[in-house]
Chains A and B, each alone.
Chain A
Amino acid sequence: MNSVDLSVKVGPMIFRNPILLASGTVGYGNEISEFIDLNKIGGIVTKSLSLKPRKGNPPQRIVETPSGMLNAIGLANVGVEEYIKNKIPFIEKYDVPLICNIAASTIEEYVECTRILTEQEAVDAFEINVSCPNVREGGLQFGNNVKAVAGITEKVKAVTNKPVIIKLSPNVSYISEFAKAVKDSGGDAVSAINTLVGTAFNIFTKKPKIKNVNGGLSGPAIKPVALAKVLEIKQKVDIPVIGIGGIMNWKDVIEFMIVGSSAVQIGTLNFIDPTAPLKIIKELEEYCLDAGISKLSELTGSYII
């Protein structure tokens, strides 16, 4: 065997390989393009976009924790208008699927952002962030509420013909209930998981290390949680899952696929080694050749329990 098919299908979307770059870890593509050829990546998910620009939280915004990091960026972003004017012209030069991540404080704002962005030819799909732990309004308050997630999915789907992925929060008892609500409301896929709510305190000053007090935990520390959530969804709901959470190498990708991920997103690793996504793609191909796997997507949900 001398060729491997790395392509994956996620609902109506087809990616050349399962490696997508996670929202909030690649900006709008500009900076990371200095390190890697975006034409080789499976897809790119933008920093969360809101209708108006957001300044984000005051520093300190991030802190390292054992095998992970907490962040409370606060959805700092340029806003939809500026994004269309100044960021899309850069990314549309590349042959890479563009997934716009949308964050909002109200259901109407999710709908309005989607309605505006769906007119952009460069935008291939949407990922709806109903699970950011770091903002006062919206975010988790939606992500914790099954009816709200269903309502957002249905209303966003009503204004776009493009695929809609809902990014789910792990900060719930049964993530599969949310995945089911997405499916029943017409969503095309779910991505799981967003960050876990966490905090860290300085024992000498007794103050939180992050100004926002709570932040979102990411990195390899959360991988076991993410795998369990993906597996729960796969076992209970028939909807494509994009696995996210602490992927550091090709083995982690395989593990996420085995428990049910159709594709994955690389997040925190981009901060540590922006060249890692391409290395992982190459290593996945080598693994498949060695293991005699002709089509990588066959691994999705291949767990044996």
Chain B
Amino acid sequence: MFVINAPVAETIELENQIFLLKIYSPEIASIILPGQFLNIRVSESYFPLLRRPFSVCDVENEHFYIMFNVYGEGTKILAHKHPGQMIDVLGPLGNGFNLKDDYETAVIIAGGLGAAPFPYVTRKISGSKNIITFIGGRTHSDLIRHGMVNIKLSTDDGSEGFKGTVVQLFRNSLDELNKDKIKVFGCGPNAMLGALKELCISENIDCEVSTECAMACGFGICQGCPIESTHQKDKYLLVCKHGPVFNIKDIVI
């Protein structure tokens, strides 16, 4: 874990207020795992006061990327960062996806900005595993394809790809996949994760998901990000410390 000032290398607008920030940090780039996250202080001012958590989106040599949409004050500031400006980064935080398990095909399921962690996942397993990527959104402009391969699309309004949810699209595609040889990696809104959990449990499919929650510190001291465990009712897990990646069977969604 580091708390470092790192220079912004590039700010890239993908589309529709979705941004990539490329940050130079050999320390972080060399150790961060797909699924881990960074807690970023967007400015030295007291407003916004707290850091903002972002999944690592990708890593290229000595740089890492984060992906975000302009949602509030913090992300508005981030979107206006120029190359050379320093940014205060705390990380890497949390755990990552278990990419090395015994499976042949990685099924990536991304809802909206839930695409954020998957370019790095794709980069890490390309060549060693097959990949099929299901990307869903409410409408065509929500679909984020950046850094993904072998893509199947869905939209709630039918404006692009399959009309329906991304989990329905995955369910319809199950016959073409060998259920015993796949592992699902998911990230997206809670409704999507809930549907994915139901499907994966009924079909006995191994599935890990990256979760999100409002948090302050990102490393376990503020206790601000509880998530209910399936196994232990008398205490919560913490998204920042025990996650953000969980086996979908282990958490209540």
The reply to whether A271 and B222 contact each other, CB–CB distance below 8 Å, is: yes
Q: Which of A25, A69, A248 contacts B221 (CB 8 A)?
A: A25
The count of chain A contact residues (Cβ–Cβ below 8 Å) is: 37
Q: Which of A26, A55, A220 contacts B46 (CB 8 A)?
A: A220
The reply to whether A64 and B48 contact each other, CB–CB distance below 8 Å, is: yes
Q: Which of B46, B49, B226 contacts A56 (CB 8 A)?
A: B226
Nearest A-chain residue to B48, judged by Cβ: A64
Mark each residue of chain A from 49 to 88: 1 if its CB lies under 8 Å from any CB of chain B, else 0: 0000101101111111011110101001000000000000
| C-alpha gap A42/B173 in the complex (Å) | 60
Residues of B within 8 A of A64 (CB): 48-50
Q: Which of B1, B51, B216 contacts A62 (CB 8 A)?
A: B216
The reply to whether B226 and A58 contact each other, CB–CB distance below 8 Å, is: yes
Assuming the A-B contacts A25-B222, A27-B221, A76-B223, are A274 and B214 also in contact, with contact meaning beta carbons closer than 8 angstroms in the complex?
no
Assuming the A-B contacts A220-B49, A270-B217, are A62 and B222 also in contact, with contact meaning beta carbons closer than 8 angstroms in the complex?
yes
A119 in contact (CB, < 8 A): no
A304 in contact (CB, < 8 A): no
The reply to whether B221 and A35 contact each other, CB–CB distance below 8 Å, is: no
A31 in contact (CB, < 8 A): yes
Residues of B within 8 A of A34 (CB): 1, 219
Q: How far is the CB of B38 from the nearest CB of chain A, in Å?
A: 14
The reply to whether A61 and B51 contact each other, CB–CB distance below 8 Å, is: no
The reply to whether A274 and B46 contact each other, CB–CB distance below 8 Å, is: no
Residues of B within 8 A of A294 (CB): none
B71 in contact (CB, < 8 A): no
Residues of B within 8 A of A61 (CB): 214, 223-226
A199 in contact (CB, < 8 A): no
B20 in contact (CB, < 8 A): no
The reply to whether B49 and A67 contact each other, CB–CB distance below 8 Å, is: yes
The reply to whether B216 and A59 contact each other, CB–CB distance below 8 Å, is: no
B236 in contact (CB, < 8 A): yes
Residues of B within 8 A of A67 (CB): 46-47, 49
The reply to whether B224 and A73 contact each other, CB–CB distance below 8 Å, is: yes
| C-alpha gap A64/B220 in the complex (Å) | 17
Q: Which of A55, A73, A273 contacts B3 (CB 8 A)?
A: A273
Residues of A within 8 A of B226 (CB): 56, 58-59, 61, 76
The reply to whether A271 and B216 contact each other, CB–CB distance below 8 Å, is: yes
| C-alpha gap A25/B48 in the complex (Å) | 19
Q: Among the interface residues B1, B223, B236, which one has the most CB atoms of the partner chain A within 10 A? A: B223
B41 in contact (CB, < 8 A): yes
Residues of B within 8 A of A272 (CB): 41, 49-51, 216-217
Residues of A within 8 A of B3 (CB): 35, 273-275
The reply to whether B227 and A59 contact each other, CB–CB distance below 8 Å, is: yes
Q: What range describes how many residues of B lie at the interface?
A: 20 to 34
The reply to whether A219 and B49 contact each other, CB–CB distance below 8 Å, is: yes
The reply to whether B217 and A59 contact each other, CB–CB distance below 8 Å, is: no
Q: Is the interface of B mostly helix, strand, loop or mixed?
A: loop
Nearest A-chain residue to B46, judged by Cβ: A67
Residues facing A in B1-30 (CB within 8 A) are 1, 3
| C-alpha gap A270/B50 in the complex (Å) | 10
Q: How far is the CB of A176 from the nearest CB of chain B, in Å?
A: 29
Q: How far is the CB of B225 from the nearest CB of chain A, in Å?
A: 7
Nearest A-chain residue to B222, judged by Cβ: A271
Q: Which of B49, B220, B227, B236 contacts A68 (CB 8 A)?
A: B49
Q: How far is the CB of B187 from the nearest CB of chain A, in Å?
A: 18
| C-alpha gap A152/B223 in the complex (Å) | 27
Q: How far is the CB of B137 from the nearest CB of chain A, in Å?
A: 21
A123 in contact (CB, < 8 A): no
Residues of A within 8 A of B32 (CB): none
Q: How far is the CB of B66 from the nearest CB of chain A, in Å?
A: 18
Nearest B-chain residue to A28, judged by Cβ: B221
Q: How far is the CB of B115 from the nearest CB of chain A, in Å?
A: 24
A32 in contact (CB, < 8 A): yes
Q: Among the interface residues B213, B219, B220, B222, which one has the most CB atoms of the partner chain A within 10 A? A: B222
Residues of A within 8 A of B228 (CB): 58
The reply to whether A76 and B236 contact each other, CB–CB distance below 8 Å, is: yes
| C-alpha gap A59/B3 in the complex (Å) | 27
Q: Among the interface residues B51, B88, B221, which one has the most CB atoms of the partner chain A within 10 A? A: B221
Q: Among the interface residues A47, A59, A220, A274, which one has the most CB atoms of the partner chain B within 10 A? A: A59
Residues of B within 8 A of A68 (CB): 49
**24 residue pairs from A and B, CB less than 8 Å apart:** A24-B222, A25-B221, A25-B222, A34-B219, A53-B234, A55-B236, A56-B223, A61-B224, A64-B48, A67-B49, A71-B222, A73-B222, A73-B223, A73-B224, A76-B223, A219-B46, A219-B49, A221-B46, A271-B222, A272-B49, A272-B51, A274-B3, A274-B90, A274-B219
Chain A residues packing against B (C-beta within 8 Å):
24-27, 31-32, 34-35, 47, 53, 55-56, 58-64, 66-69, 71, 73, 76, 219-221, 248, 268, 270-275
